[in-house]
Structure 1
Amino acid sequence: MAEIQPLRGWRYNATLSQNIDDYVSPLFDVVSARQREALYRNPLNSIHLSVPRGEDAAGAAQLRLSEWQQAGVLRQDELPGIYAYYQYFRLPGSTREYCRKGFMCHIRAYDWAEDVVLRHENTLPAAVNDRAELLARTEFQTSATHGLYRDDDFELERYLDEAILTPLYQTEEDYQGARDVLAVIQDAAVIKRFQQVLAARQVILADGHHRYEGSLAYRQASQAAEPAATGQEGWNFHLMYLTNSAADDLRILPTHRLLLELPDGLRNEELLARLETYFLVMPKEDPYDLPELIAGKPWAFGLYLGEGQAYKLRLRPEVHAQLDWDTTPEVKALDLTVLHFFVLEKVLGIIGPNAQRQWPGVAYVRNFPECLQRVEHGEARAAFITSEVTMDEVERVCHSGAVMPPKSTFFYPKTIGGFLFSSIRADETQHPFMREFSVPL
């Protein structure tokens, strides 16, 4: 199914790589404005390529990339390879060190209808257009999207474990507290085995839907401009970080819903009364107990209204049949679908998924204490505390052909930008070594 290819990675030169922490950058949507400004102040930080600024942002990135390549700030590896990428991390309240194992490579940019790369959320057209324009101007991919394949035999991990023993470089600690390690596999026989394993797999897109769709849009435009294209051109491919969904070190964290306002001047007492139509509403003494109280319980949520008013909500089982959105049973079974339908639509009157995506009255917050604090400080009216989505739920929804409610998953930790770049320029992807790994169409 999924065709992958090795790549000749572009990386910071050997001198700069000794301080790689100074040049990597987080994904744009998981960093504060203050953190972003600090990154922009470093003239060599990768954020200038991944999230350029200015009236002609894509043009600025193109110019800077050319300058960096000519000055030797970035250098390209001579041989193609698959890049092992490990992230070591801990979760709050736990002493266990996790290690998420994966690898970066090029993957063919499949249209959704081809049913090879599967999505689990919708995208915003404006964000896709920005990514497509940046790719068209630079022909350079600055941060890998995150894809999942399932291999219960863990065949590829032994090659990755061997490669990671001789890393190219590693961070001390990235912005989210993880330690990132990069290595490369350039053995042709091993690379072909990676291709064979992935050829029998579908890939679920875990993170980076807008960047992936940007590659799709650029590929479609390039195909239209080159009717005689062979299918092996660099613009057919996309940089992806692939991890095994069977691994225990793949963590998904919850994303809570913060109501910044209540429609029609709704008071707390009225909100609770409306909720009781659909939920068992149980007062609780300590709001900080809410995540533990709802853990492992289907269709259960925490609610905080400020001034110590904390509640556990549990959907009345008999009302679930009222959930009449045009989607699959797998999506209807999700906690977050229940929350969006019975709270946002039935209780608050925000009708339908499209209206809910556009409603400015809801914010998505991953930090639980922040939710409580923002309600307490009057920055929000209510916080709905959720449990994490499971990997099994993600797989079932994706294979059903449907998508989840917005901000359903937060795969942790996030990949970082600047660790590895890839070019899709014709003169760089037609390297003689690459013919060894071409897959006939």
Structure 2
Amino acid sequence: MAEILPIRPWRYNQQLSQRIDDLTSPLFDVVSEKQRAALYQSPYNSIHLSVPQPPNAAERAYKLLESWKEKGIILQDKLPAIYVYYQYFKVQGSSKEFCRKGFVSHIRTYDWNENVILRHENTIPKAVNDRIELLEKIQLHASATHGLYTDSSFTLEKYMDEAVRNPLYETEDYQGVRDVLAVIHDKGVIQHFIDFIQPKTIILADGHHRYEGSLYYKHKQQEANPHHTGKEGYNYHLMYLTNTESDDLKILPTHRLVRDIANFNEEDLLKKLEEDFIIKPIEDACTLNEVILGKPWAFGLIFRENAYKIRLKPESLSKIKWHFPDVIKALDLTVMHYFVIEKALGIPGKEQRQSENIEFDRSFSDCLKRVIQGEAQLAIITNEVSIEDVKKVCASGYTMPQKSTYFYPKVIGGFLFSSVKENEFSTPVYSPF
């Protein structure tokens, strides 16, 4: 049972929201240092709540949030609503304009073992701790995570299409994506959304760290509250929900950069890989992502002077010693992390989540540049993960390696903020919800 609720978010006042472009920001795990520095210059940008500046970042965000409330910088909506969020975008190699359709609501924060919200990848502990500290202090979801439900009949889209004809906000974000926000206040339609999602299982597409932060916060508050009912604000999480069956759901590959490996040697690495991979030199490294496109267990290796396509020999798949079901072993990313990162580079699987030697980058050109400039010793270029693979992993009960998927485009922050503070979360007496 996936319980969702309409929200009464805090939003920028009408005067400020006319300049919504200046107030939105990227999510905490994709915003670059350069972007942060620029956004911090804007006193009312949402970055101050989602990724507050150190030192004492959480305390700083709390004081700023209270100030914004007192001064009317942000105001809480009077009526609970479902917020419709559309993202119009293009991808490399296609002239089509895609539109990812979805809506934002509260959703009950379910434990993983309840099998209502399913994760598909591992998290990095430090990032989770940062999210916990911030949520505990400000009791506010500054950005929505991204969840997926499955509906081949596209039942909810007609209501969303109607609402988006009268947008609240429309902006072009840092990705070049056109973001549109609209609202549904109609009681009957909102109830239809609640009833329709209720029997669904939700796949967590993006925001594993923030969701785990909410889980920790919920358990801590439950233990501290002897009168816990399950209806308190701390039991809920802010989520953007989209349909897995849409052709406009895009997952981009996330490549690996390897750096600071002691005694790193290209020739030695290739010799280790020869046992399990067919290795083919590639003259032009700029074509590697195209050379491996769509080929299972195929990867590109970029060294400073040379580039190679490698493809796992089918008979080697049975060598994987990790205790995973076959569906997980057969994933490209499992093959890469086992044969290339653990077996050849010598970084054990259990250490890879926290390894300082592995970085993640979805930009192929950035990977190429960083290796050529000597910032990384090696780039491992991967194919994208399919939504069907994500479903299979979730159904298995296992997870992919961290940073396995990059759902594109990313949700942006700043359109609305959702409070779980009890006096701000609770439904007003005049509301039917």
Question: Is the shorter-chain TM-score for this pair beyond 0.5, marking a shared fold?
Answer: yes
Q: Which runs of 5 or more residues in structure 1 are unaligned?
A: none
- Is 2:252 the partner of 1:253? yes
Amino acid at match of 1:275: L
Amino acid of the structure 1 residue aligned with 2:284: D
Which segment drifts farther, 142-151 or 219-228? Answer: 219-228
C-alpha displacement at 1:2, in angstroms? 0.4
Query: Which amino acid in 2 is paired with 1:43?
Result: P
Q: Within 1, Cα distance between the matches of 2:240 and 2:99?
A: 15
* 1:22 and 2:22 aligned: yes
1:330 to 308, 323, 327: 327
Question: What are the superposed Cα offsets for residues 229-271 of structure 1, whole Å, 9 maximum, x if unpaired?
Answer: 22111111110001111111111000111222444x2422222
Aligned residue number for residue 240 of structure 2: 241
Residues 262 and 221 of structure 1: is their aligned pair in 2 closer, same or farther, counting only changes over 3 Å? closer
1:358 pairs with one of 341, 354, 358? 354
- Kept after mapping to 1: 8 A contact 2:206/2:407: yes
Q: CA deviation at 1:201?
A: 0.5
- SS of the aligned residue for 1:246 comes to coil
| Pairwise CA distance, 1:279 | 0.3
2:219 corresponds to: 220
Moved more, 426-435 or 363-372: 426-435
Matched residues in 2 for 1:145 and 1:34: separation?
A: 23
2:339 counterpart residue number: 342
C-alpha separation between the residues in 2 aligned to 1:204 and 1:433?
Answer: 33
Deviation at 1:432, TM superposition (A): 3.3
Whether 1:230 aligns to 2:226 is no
Taking the aligned partners of 1:267 and 1:56, their CA distance within structure 2 comes to: 42
CA distance in 1, matches of 2:427, 2:272: 64
Q: Which moved more, 1:131-140 or 1:185-194?
A: 131-140
Match of 2:37 in 1: 37
Q: Who is 2:192 aligned against?
A: 193
Aligned to 2:208: 209
TM-score for the superposition, normalised by structure 2: 0.97
Q: Which residue of 2 aligns with 1:304?
A: 302
Residue 107 of structure 2 corresponds to residue 111 of structure 1: no
Quick one: which amino acid aligns to residue 201 of structure 1? Answer: K
Letter in 1 for 2:202: V
RMSD (Å), alpha carbons: 1.4
Report if the CA contact (8 A) 2:123-2:402 is conserved.
Answer: no
Q: Secondary structure at the match of 2:8?
A: coil
Letter in 2 for 1:84: V
Within the candidate set 290, 312, 315, 2:312 is matched to: 315
* Superposed counterparts of 1:115-134, under 5 Å: 115-134=115-134
Report the Cα distance in structure 1 between the residues aligned to 2:131 and 2:370, rounded to whole angstroms.
32
Tell me, in whole angstroms, the C-alpha distance in 2 between the residues paired with 1:372 and 1:257: 11
**Alpha-carbon offset, residue 357 of structure 1:** 2.1
**Residue 273 (structure 1) aligned with residue 277 (structure 2):** no
Match of 2:405 in 1: 409
**SS of residue paired to 1:29:** coil
Decide whether the 8 Å contact of 2:79 with 2:431 is kept in 1: no
CA shift, 1:435, in A, is: 6.5
C-alpha offsets along residues 341-361 of structure 1, whole Å, 9 cap, x if unaligned? 11112112222x221223222
Q: How far 1:55 sits from its partner (Å)?
A: 3.4
Of stretches 231-240 and 287-296 in structure 1, the one that deviates more from structure 2 is: 287-296
Q: 1:434 to 1:328 in 2, by over 3 A?
A: farther
Taking the aligned partners of 1:434 and 1:280, their CA distance within structure 2 comes to 68
Contact 1:299 1:315 in 2 (8 A): yes
Q: What CA distance in whole angstroms lies between the structure 2 residues aligned with 1:303 and 1:136?
A: 42
Amino acid at match of 2:424: E
Q: Is contact 1:174-1:180 (8 Å) kept?
A: yes
Deviation at 1:168, TM superposition (A): 0.6
2:363 pairs with 1:367: yes
Give the equivalent residue in structure 2 for 1:181.
Answer: 180
Q: Would you say the 8 A contact 2:124–2:353 is kept in 1?
A: no
Check whether the contact 1:163–1:183 (CA below 8 A) recurs between aligned residues.
yes
CA distance in 2, matches of 1:69, 1:357: 38
Contact 1:80–1:433 (CA<8 Å) still a contact in 2?
no
Deviations 1:12-61, CA, capped at 9 Å, x for gaps: 11111111010111112212211101111111111111111233322221
Question: What residue in structure 2 maps to residue 282 of structure 1?
Answer: 280
SS at match of 2:99: strand
